[in-house]
């Protein structure tokens, strides 16, 4: 291309130039979703989901929580606690983080499955040994099943 042809192309580009906004997202790869005390719990237990994101230099995240693939909750807290779980809380949970006031985001985490079942039954038995009464508390967790005959 000659210098004269370059000038024509440049002039044509200037006439056709539009503003372009470019968004750059930096994805943080290191994160982990955990459930405490366990993935299999009983009705009435307290359960905490925790989303740990390793974003170097990021001090403030906005966390999004998903249940069974749908948006569930959003918070600045990296933990989401269920005070007393029910069977309706069971499902596959995942989290996502976005830097507050910035451009960095995480990928959505792998899902963890929360299973809620049964009830907790507390049985108290008093044992008499050597003329002393010693109460013994046994906690038994069971999935109740009802069958009709």
- Read off the pLDDT of residues 59-77 as tens digits, 9 standing for 90 and up: 789 999 999 999 999 999 9
Phi-psi domain of 44 (left: phi exceeds 0; alpha: psi -120 through 50; beta: other): left
> What domains, with CATH codes, occur in the chain?
26-118 (2.60.40.10)
pLDDT value of position 104: 84
Lowest mean pLDDT, pick from 3-7, 14-18, 115-119: 3-7
- The predicted model gives 117-128 an average pLDDT of 68
> Mean of the pLDDT values across residues 89-114?
91
Q: What angle do CA 82, 144, 117 make, to 5 degrees?
A: 25
Cβ-Cβ contacts under 8 Å for 48 (sequence gap 6 or more): 35, 36, 79, 80, 81, 82
pTM: 0.63
Q: What integer pLDDT is reported at residue 129 of this predicted model?
A: 55
Give the count of alpha carbons within 13 A of 43, CB side only: 11
Closest CA to 52 of 71, 73, 80, 26: 80
Predicted local distance difference test score (pLDDT) of residue 59: 79
Give the CA distances from residue 51 to residues 1, 37, 74, 106, 138, in Å, rounded to whole numbers and listed in that order. 56, 14, 12, 11, 34
Q: Which of 25-29, 58-62, 117-121, 135-139 has the highest mean pLDDT?
A: 58-62
């Amino acid at each position: 291309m000659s210098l004269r042809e370059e000038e024509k192309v440049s002039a044509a580009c200037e006439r056709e130039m539009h503003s372009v906004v470019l968004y750059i997202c930096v994805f943080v790869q290191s994160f982990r979703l955990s459930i405490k005390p366990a993935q299999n719990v009983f009705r009435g237990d307290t359960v905490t989901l925790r989303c740990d994101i390793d974003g170097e230099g990021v001090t403030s995240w906005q966390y999004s929580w998903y249940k069974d693939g749908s948006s569930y909750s959003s918070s600045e807290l990296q933990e989401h606690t269920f005070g007393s779980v029910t069977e309706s809380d069971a499902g596959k949970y995942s989290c996502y983080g976005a830097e507050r006031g910035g451009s960095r985001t995480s990928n959505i985490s792998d899902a963890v499955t929360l299973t809620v079942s049964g009830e907790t039954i507390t049985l108290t038995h008093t044992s008499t040994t050597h003329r002393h009464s010693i109460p013994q508390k046994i906690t038994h967790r069971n999935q109740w099943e009802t069958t009709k005959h």
